[in-house]
């Protein structure tokens, strides 16, 4: 382990802001790219099912 | 319509005849609306005027900025004029005719861009000394400015034409062309301004001019291929 | 077609949207799990176990995000251009869809590389942005991505849009080495003499092993995200076909 305590870990030797900002952004970008397509997919499927039902009932 | 102005009737197998017929047609069409020809040039001067007004009119300061500002202004003026390259032909259907003709599209496209360059890039290059004066570019830099613009603006026209060809079918193609083409302009900008700055500081120009020449050679060979392909795609929809 | 002699069968099988959808559907869960695992291991390793740099201290840990995202951003562009070429030459719809799906992911990776590079610059050089050769090239790469995305969405007809975007991507790919060379040259002329972010010091194993893990993890993430977007694109484009209708009814 490179750190002796949790508070040391958070502080990152004074560079805490930079490291945590970067990692936060990294997690955010990756999560967005994994979750947003999933949400799009659900929306797409719902829309298309509704369209199908509409066309069958018409 | 006289056969002299229709490139489709040029003697088969004579690329040069096709080229000159197309260039002649472009000049004829453009000179019918002389006011449109002046627009990029006026824009060029106006952009250069913005910098002293927006930043500082001090000669020493402007002299430092001059190479970059003149180049950026030339770049933007070229970009602005790109939309018109294919648009009027597209709108009246003659672009489609050109694509359907048995003539090699490479030559046609090269001719159109060459004519366009004469009316924009070359004209801008000839006007550049005026801007150099306004922005206090040291006299040593003039040769570098003119040579770099002379070698660089054809590349700008060729690459810009790719953007124009890709967006000719779109109604609001203008701003999109800039977005597509600006990243591709950056190497020309870097070497062009490098040449001017080298000239100003008395360093040898040959390397920069050679690089600009290499970029031009590459563009001359590859751009018409991309332009032709892009035109076919834009028309097909 | 003469090409059938040297192209494997699976190349043409992949061209079928339906087949592509089914294959990716089967691969996705496993790949997602693997990717998340690699990301978790890589992140913990980078943050907790990798040593801090002697000169830069703990801000050095940003390298474990900056380098993988930069690598993926560049590889993704190559893939995008390749997909564009395949779509143009063989008129394969799936290739068009791959191009369209890759662009946003590549763009977000380029953005991440840029932002982490800028954040890294602050403690290292004292300012939030520096016109360093690599960062500037990455910025231009981001612009190239945005151009492809803009062109794709500006043209209404999907196949026309894909082919136009393919040409743009190919023109861009030819330009990337030129841009890199010119920006590096420009930077050596104008750069203040400071420690280069881009110079990788000879890294001991404790430093480059977690980097390797993160690079692989990011590639995995890219493939997973691409598959997700590709499947959405396939569903949308093929929404009127029989197999999609069956699929919808089964949902």
- pLDDT tens profile B105-137: 999 999 999 999 999 999 999 999 999 999 999
Q: For residue C53, list its beta bridge partners.
A: C57
> Would C228 be classed as within a structural domain?
no
* Cβ pairs A/C, distance under 8 A: 100
Compute the C-alpha angle C181/C187/C191, nearest 5°. Answer: 160
In a domain, A46, yes or no: yes
**Do C245 and A52 lie within an 8 Å CB cutoff?**
yes
Read off the pLDDT of residues C135-185 as tens digits, 9 standing for 90 and up. Answer: 899 999 999 999 999 999 999 898 899 999 999 999 999 999 999 888 888
Residue C49 maps to a domain: no
Tell if the CB–CB gap between C48 and A9 is shorter than 8 Å. yes
Domain for residue C124, yes or no?
A: yes
Please state the length of chain B: 237
Q: How far is B4 from chain C (nearest CA, A)?
A: 34
**A2, A16, A37: residue with CB nearest C50:** A2
Average pLDDT, chain C: 88
Structural domain count of chain A: 1
Distance from CA of C216 to the nearest CA of A (A): 14
Q: Determine, for residues B230 and C167 on separate chains, whether the beta-carbon distance falls below 8 Å.
A: yes
- Give the angle A36-A42-A46 at the CA atoms, nearest 5°: 145
Does the CB of B180 have a partner CB in chain C at under 8 Å?
yes
Task: Report d(CA C128, CA B162) in Å as an integer.
Answer: 35
Phi, psi (rounded to 5 degrees) for B126: -70, -25
Please check whether residue C180 touches B, CB under 8 A: no
Other C-beta atoms within 10 Å of A7: how many?
A: 9
Contact C165, C148 (CB under 8 A): yes
Q: Tell me, what's the pLDDT at B3? A: 47
Chains adjacent to C (≥3 CB pairs closer than 8 angstroms): A, B
Q: Give the residue, B12 or B195, on which the prediction is more confident.
A: B195
Interface check for A31 against chain C (CB to CB < 8 A): the answer is: no
pLDDT at position C202, please? 67
In a domain, C172, yes or no: yes
Domain for residue A6, yes or no?
A: no
What digits encode the pLDDT tens for the residues C5-49? 677 877 777 788 998 999 999 999 999 999 999 999 999 988 888
User: Does any domain span residue A14?
Assistant: no
Residue A7 structure tokens: 């508070």
- C235 within some domain: no
| Contacts with A16 from chain C: Cβ below 8 Å | 58
Q: Range with the lowest mean pLDDT among B19-28, B31-40, B58-67?
A: B31-40
Tell me how many domains chain C contains: 1
Chain A interface, mutation test: which of C114, C222, C235, C248, most A Cβ atoms within 10 Å? C248
At residue C167's C-alpha, the angle toward residues C164 and C173, to 5°, is 140
Across the interface, whether the CB atoms of C150 and B167 are under 8 A apart is answered no
Distance, CA of B7 to CA of B20 (rounded, Å):
9
User: Which residues in chain C are contacts of A22 at CB distance < 8 A?
Assistant: 62, 65-66, 115-116, 119-120
CA–CA distances in Å: residue C17 to residues C7, C53, C82, C103, C232: 18, 48, 18, 19, 11
Cα torsion B94, B98, B102, B105 to 10°: value is: 180
Whether residue C89 is contained in a domain is answered as: yes
Q: Give me B120's structure tokens.
A: 């924009």
Give the residue numbers spanning the domain of A49: 23-58
Domain coverage including residue C90:
62-194+203-209
Put simply, the answer to whether A18 touches C50 (Cβ < 8 Å) is: no
- Is A1 in CB contact (< 8 Å) with chain C? yes
Q: Which of C20-24, C53-57, C194-198 has the lowest mean pLDDT?
A: C194-198
Nearest Cβ partner of C62 from A14, A18, A38? A18
Q: What is the mean pLDDT of each run of 10 residues along chain A (58 residues)?
A: 77 82 94 95 92 86
Task: Measure in Å the smallest separation between the Cα of C58 and chain A Cα atoms.
Answer: 6
In a domain, A3, yes or no: no
Q: Is residue A13 part of a domain?
A: no
> C115 vs chain A: nearest CA distance in angstroms?
8
Question: pLDDT class for C201, splitting at 50, 70, 90?
Answer: low
CB contact under 8 A, A18 and C231: no
Report the alpha-carbon angle C220-C225-C227, nearest 5. Answer: 95
Distance (Å) from the C-alpha of residue C39 to the closest C-alpha of chain B? Answer: 33
Q: Identify the band that residue B201 occupies on the pLDDT scale cut at 50, 70 and 90.
A: very high
Dihedral of CA atoms C131, B181, C170, C172 in degrees, nearest 10, equals -10
Phi, psi of C197 (to 5 degrees): -60, -30
pTM: 0.89
Give the model's pLDDT for residue A13. Answer: 76
Candidates C107, C186, C169; CA nearest to B191 is C186
Do residue A34 and residue C119 have CB atoms under 8 angstroms apart? no
Q: What is the nearest CA distance from B170 to chain C, expressed in angstroms?
A: 7
Q: Which of C214, C220, C222 is nearest to C105 (CA)?
A: C222
Question: Per residue in C103-113, pLDDT tens?
Answer: 999 999 999 99
Assess whether chains B and C touch, using the rule of 3 or more C-beta pairs within 8 angstroms: yes
- The reply to whether A1 falls in a domain is no
Classify residue A7: in a domain, yes or no. no
pLDDT value at B58 more than 70:
yes
Angle at B193 between CA B189 and CA B197, to 5 degrees: 165
- Record: contact A52-C47, CB cut-off 8 A: no
Judge whether A50 lies within some domain: yes
CA end-to-end span of chain A, whole Å?
66
Does the beta-carbon distance from C221 to A23 stay under 8 Å? no
Of the partner residues C48, C224, C236, the one whose CB lies closest to the CB of residue A1: C48
- Token pair 């191009």: residue: C99
User: pLDDT grade, residue C203 (50/70/90)?
Assistant: confident
- In this prediction, residue B2 carries a pLDDT of 46
Mean per-residue pLDDT for B163-167? 94
Q: Which of B49-63, B213-227, C37-51 has maximum average pLDDT?
A: B213-227
Reading the block at residue B168, the tokens are 């000719």
């Amino acid at each position: 382990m490179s750190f002796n305590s949790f508070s040391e870990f958070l502080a990152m030797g004074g560079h805490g802001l930079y490291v945590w900002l970067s990692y936060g952004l990294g997690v955010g970008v990756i999560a967005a790219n994994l979750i947003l397509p999933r949400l799009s997919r659900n929306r797409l499927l719902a829309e298309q099912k509704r369209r199908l039902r509409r066309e069958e009932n018409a | 319509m006289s056969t002299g102005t229709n490139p489709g009737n040029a003697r088969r197998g004579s690329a040069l005849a096709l080229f000159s017929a197309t260039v002649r047609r472009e000049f004829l069409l453009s000179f019918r609306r002389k006011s449109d020809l002046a627009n990029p040039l006026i824009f060029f001067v106006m952009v250069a005027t913005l910098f002293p007004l927006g930043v500082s009119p001090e000669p020493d300061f402007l002299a430092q900025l001059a190479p970059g500002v003149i180049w950026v202004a030339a770049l933007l003026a070229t970009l602005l004029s790109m939309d018109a390259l294919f648009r009027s032909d597209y709108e009246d259907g003659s672009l489609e005719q050109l694509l359907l003709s048995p003539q090699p599209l490479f030559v046609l496209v090269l001719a159109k861009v060459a004519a366009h360059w004469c009316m924009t890039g070359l004209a801008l290059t000839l006007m550049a000394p005026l801007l150099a004066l306004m922005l206090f570019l040291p006299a040593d830099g003039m040769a570098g400015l003119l040579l770099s613009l002379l070698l660089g603006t054809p590349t700008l026209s060729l690459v810009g034409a790719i953007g124009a060809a890709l967006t000719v079918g779109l109604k609001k193609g203008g701003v999109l062309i800039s977005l597509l083409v600006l990243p591709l302009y950056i190497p020309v900008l870097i070497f062009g301004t490098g040449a001017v700055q080298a000239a100003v500081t008395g360093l040898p120009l040959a390397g920069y001019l050679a690089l600009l020449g290499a970029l031009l050679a590459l563009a001359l060979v590859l751009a018409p291929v991309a332009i032709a392909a892009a035109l076919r795609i834009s028309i097909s929809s | 077609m003469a090409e059938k002699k040297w192209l494997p069968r699976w190349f043409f099988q992949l061209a079928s949207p339906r087949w592509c959808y089914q294959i990716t559907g089967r691969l996705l869960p496993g790949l997602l799990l693997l990717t998340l695992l690699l990301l978790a291991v890589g992140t913990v390793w980078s943050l907790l176990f990798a040593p801090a740099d002697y000169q830069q201290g703990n801000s050095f840990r940003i390298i474990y995000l900056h380098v993988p995202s930069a690598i993926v951003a560049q590889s993704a562009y190559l893939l995008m251009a390749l997909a564009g070429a395949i779509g143009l030459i063989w008129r394969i719809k799936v290739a068009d869809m791959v191009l369209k799906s890759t662009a946003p992911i590549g763009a977000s990776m380029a953005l991440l590389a840029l932002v982490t590079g800028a954040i890294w610059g602050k403690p290292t050089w004292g300012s939030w942005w520096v016109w360093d050769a690599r960062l500037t090239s990455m910025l231009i790469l981001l612009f190239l991505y945005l151009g492809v995305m803009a062109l794709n969405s500006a043209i209404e007809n999907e196949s026309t849009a894909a082919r136009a975007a393919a040409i743009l991507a190919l023109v861009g790919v030819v330009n990337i080495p030129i841009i890199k060379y010119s920006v590096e040259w420009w930077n050596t002329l104008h750069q203040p003499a400071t420690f280069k972010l881009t110079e990788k010091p000879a890294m001991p194993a404790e430093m480059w092993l977690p980097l390797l893990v993160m690079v692989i993890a990011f590639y995995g993430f890219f493939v997973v995200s691409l598959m997700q977007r590709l499947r959405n694109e396939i569903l949308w484009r093929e929404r009127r076909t029989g197999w999609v209708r069956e699929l919808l009814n089964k949902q």
